[in-house]
């Protein structure tokens, strides 16, 4: 499958992918095209479905409002359901293919439809009504539980019976590329008798994948596990920035609050399940114990998505990959999360976001956050520094960096950049389907 738009072989965004996003074109267009576009990524370019809509294309998708691409957000398209998603994908793949002249040979239309990624500002893909975060990785829950309660009591009694989750904060979800600010918070220092209010000294990332909900459900009408994947529009990478010291002091008994609500970051391109289809795989067995019937699927599946986290330490230009994990490690699948979330009647709405929780694997190098990687700050992580990078150093002032030695981290320092990556295939497997970057820099706290 080839496009007339050039796509390099190692691109995250070949014609087989076409992930959806929302963007502002930095150059104004002269026609009636709205300022905020809905579209897909293709190689180094973006393709505006909004501009195609204005030109008369993509208007007769099954069971979809003809104006789904004129809303400046993906919610209405997400609500339309899988037949509309497949039809839009097929139309775009045809219009963009190298054998098709309908778009390629209309230079004026082409100029309105195709933009370089560097010329657009990527926004959040949808208006996120509610954001829920789960805790679905057995390895993560075990590692964290062992630190707090010892290995014998690592998993709480409910953990193997239901996907534990909590409601997160939707307002502070930001797209990749945004910098986030180290939060102040109330913390109880070790050995102190009273808490203090101070900048968090334990800022962490969390490697997660999140699902955007497509069609929702009415209040009081649960979604069954077997049909639940049809309510998932697609997946993004998510960094659930966390202040561990704040979280530790506040979270009993109602869960995380200010420790996490200051920023959650997602990758801007939503990779559809159609694009992920060649990478379906089996999730972990759930036989000890068997899960309750409402969480069972006839043919359970998940996706084989490789994940990695790179940290570029403040003042340096070189990133170190600190963890490698995979979506398939998750004990609970997104379909089970949807089924559990709605089991009591809670309604999901198109554009809602469901995070997986930190995704850790079995190996030490697959742990998805610094809390696990450094054993809650007991150990240090060594990051390579490479050559000094003046551009990267503005957040902490000029530093003269040694060329080859490493810097050490227990938690993140001001100016550190965290980038999550995710991809399927490549290297002899089916064509690489990538998620792009979920990257953000930690700024110093307010003074």
As annotated, the active-site residues are 140
Question: What is the closest distance, in whole angstroms, from the C-beta atom of residue 235 to a second copy in the complex?
Answer: 21
Q: Are 155 and 142 in contact, with CB atoms under 8 Å apart? A: yes
Residue from 21, 175, 222, 436 binding a second copy (CB under 8 A): 222
Question: What is the closest distance, in whole angstroms, from the C-beta atom of residue 438 to a second copy in the complex?
Answer: 17
Question: What is the closest distance, in whole angstroms, from the C-beta atom of residue 263 to a second copy in the complex?
Answer: 7
192 interacts with a second copy by CB under 8 A: no
Residue from 24, 86, 161, 324 binding a second copy (CB under 8 A): 161
164 interacts with a second copy by CB under 8 A: yes
Give the up-direction half-sphere exposure of residue 216: CA atoms within 13 A in the CB hemisphere: 18
263 interacts with a second copy by CB under 8 A: yes
Q: Are 306 and 422 in contact, with CB atoms under 8 Å apart? A: yes
Q: Are 275 and 90 in contact, with CB atoms under 8 Å apart? A: no
Question: What is the closest distance, in whole angstroms, from the C-beta atom of residue 359 to a second copy in the complex?
Answer: 16
444 interacts with a second copy by CB under 8 A: no
Find the binding residues for a second copy in span 115-144 (CB under 8 A): 129-130, 135
166 interacts with a second copy by CB under 8 A: yes
**Using alpha carbons only, what angle is made at residue 276 by residues 274 and 279, rounded to the nearest 5 degrees?**
135
195 interacts with a second copy by CB under 8 A: yes
**Exposed, middle or buried, 377 (CB in 10 Å: 0-12/13-18/19+)?**
middle
Q: CA–CA separation, 2 vs 6, rounded Å?
A: 9
183 interacts with a second copy by CB under 8 A: yes
Q: CA–CA separation, 211 vs 232, rounded Å?
A: 6
Question: What is the closest distance, in whole angstroms, from the C-beta atom of residue 167 to a second copy in the complex?
Answer: 4
Question: What is the closest distance, in whole angstroms, from the C-beta atom of residue 343 to a second copy in the complex?
Answer: 6
289 interacts with a second copy by CB under 8 A: yes
194 interacts with a second copy by CB under 8 A: yes
Residue from 28, 99, 158, 285 binding a second copy (CB under 8 A): 158
Residues in the annotated binding site for Mg(2+) = 240, 260, 264
Residue from 29, 117, 186, 224 binding a second copy (CB under 8 A): 186
Helix, strand, coil percentages (3-state) for the chain, rounded to 5, are 25, 30, 50
In 102-231, the DSSP E strands lie at: 114-116, 120-123, 131-134, 165-167, 173-175, 180-181, 184-187, 196-199, 203-204, 207-213
Q: Are strands 417-424 and 306-312 parallel, antiparallel or unpaired?
A: antiparallel
Q: CA–CA separation, 225 vs 338, rounded Å?
A: 7
Segment lying near a second copy (by CB under 8 A), choices 184-192, 274-282, 378-386, 409-417: 184-192
In 203-270, the DSSP E strands lie at: 203-204, 207-213, 232-239, 242-243, 264-266
395 interacts with a second copy by CB under 8 A: no
- Phi then psi for residue 127, to 5 deg, are -80, 115
257 interacts with a second copy by CB under 8 A: yes
Q: CA–CA separation, 276 vs 423, rounded Å?
A: 10
153 interacts with a second copy by CB under 8 A: no
243 interacts with a second copy by CB under 8 A: yes
226 interacts with a second copy by CB under 8 A: no
Residues in the annotated binding site for Ca(2+) = 133, 206, 208, 240
User: Coil, strand or helix: which one is 3?
Assistant: strand
Rg (CA), the chain: 22
Residue from 93, 100, 147, 251 binding a second copy (CB under 8 A): 251
Task: List contacts with a second copy (CB under 8 A).
Answer: 129-130, 135, 156-158, 161-162, 164-172, 174, 181, 183-186, 188, 194-197, 200, 219-222, 243, 246, 249-259, 261-263, 289, 292-294, 340-341, 343-349, 352, 446
């Amino acid at each position: 499958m080839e496009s007339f738009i050039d796509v390099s072989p190692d691109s995250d965004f070949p014609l087989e992918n076409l992930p959806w996003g929302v963007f502002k074109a930095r150059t104004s267009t002269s026609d009636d095209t709205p300022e905020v576009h809905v579209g897909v990524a293709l190689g180094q370019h973006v393709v505006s479905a909004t501009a195609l809509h204005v030109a008369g294309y993509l208007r007769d998708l099954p069971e979809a409002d003809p104006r789904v691409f004129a809303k400046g957000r993906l919610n209405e398209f997400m609500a339309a359901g899988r037949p509309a998603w497949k039809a839009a994908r097929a139309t775009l793949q045809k219009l963009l293919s190298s054998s098709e002249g309908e778009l390629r040979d209309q230079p004026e239309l082409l100029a309105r439809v195709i933009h370089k990624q560097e010329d657009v500002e990527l926004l959040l893909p949808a208006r996120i009504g509610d954001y829920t975060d789960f805790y679905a990785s057995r390895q993560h829950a075990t590692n964290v539980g062992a630190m707090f309660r010892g290995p014998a009591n690592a998993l709480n009694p409910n953990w193997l019976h239901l996907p534990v989750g909590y409601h997160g904060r939707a307002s502070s979800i930001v797209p990749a590329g945004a910098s986030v600010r180290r939060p102040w918070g109330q913390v109880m220092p070790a050995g102190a008798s009273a808490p203090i209010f101070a900048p968090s000294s334990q800022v962490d990332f969390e490697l997660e994948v999140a699902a955007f909900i497509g069609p929702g459900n009415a209040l009081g009408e649960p979604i069954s596990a077997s049909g639940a994947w049809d309510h998932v529009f697609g997946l993004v990478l998510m960094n659930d920035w966390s202040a561990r010291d704040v979280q530790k002091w506040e979270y009993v008994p109602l869960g995380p609050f200010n420790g996490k609500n200051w920023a959650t970051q997602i990758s801007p391109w939503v990779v559809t399940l159609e694009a992920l289809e060649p990478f379906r795989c089996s999730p972990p067995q759930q036989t000890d114990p068997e899960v309750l019937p409402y969480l069972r699927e006839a043919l359970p599946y998940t996706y084989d998505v490789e994940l990695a986290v790179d940290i570029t330490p403040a003042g340096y230009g070189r990133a170190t990959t600190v963890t490698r994990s995979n979506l398939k490690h998750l004990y609970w699948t997104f379909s089970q999360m949807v089924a559990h979330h709605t089991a009591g009647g809670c309604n999901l709405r198109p554009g809602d976001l469901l995070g997986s929780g930190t995704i850790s694997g079995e190996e030490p190098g697959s742990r998805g956050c610094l809390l696990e990687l450094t054993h809650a700050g007991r150990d240090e992580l060594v990051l390579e520094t490479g050559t000094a990078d003046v551009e990267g150093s503005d957040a902490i002032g000029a530093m003269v960096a040694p060329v080859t030695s490493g810097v050490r981290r227990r938690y993140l320092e001001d100016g550190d950049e965290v980038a999550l990556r995710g991809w399927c295939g490549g290297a002899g497997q089916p064509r690489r389907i990538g998620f792009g970057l979920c990257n953000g820099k930690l700024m110093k706290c307010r003074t």
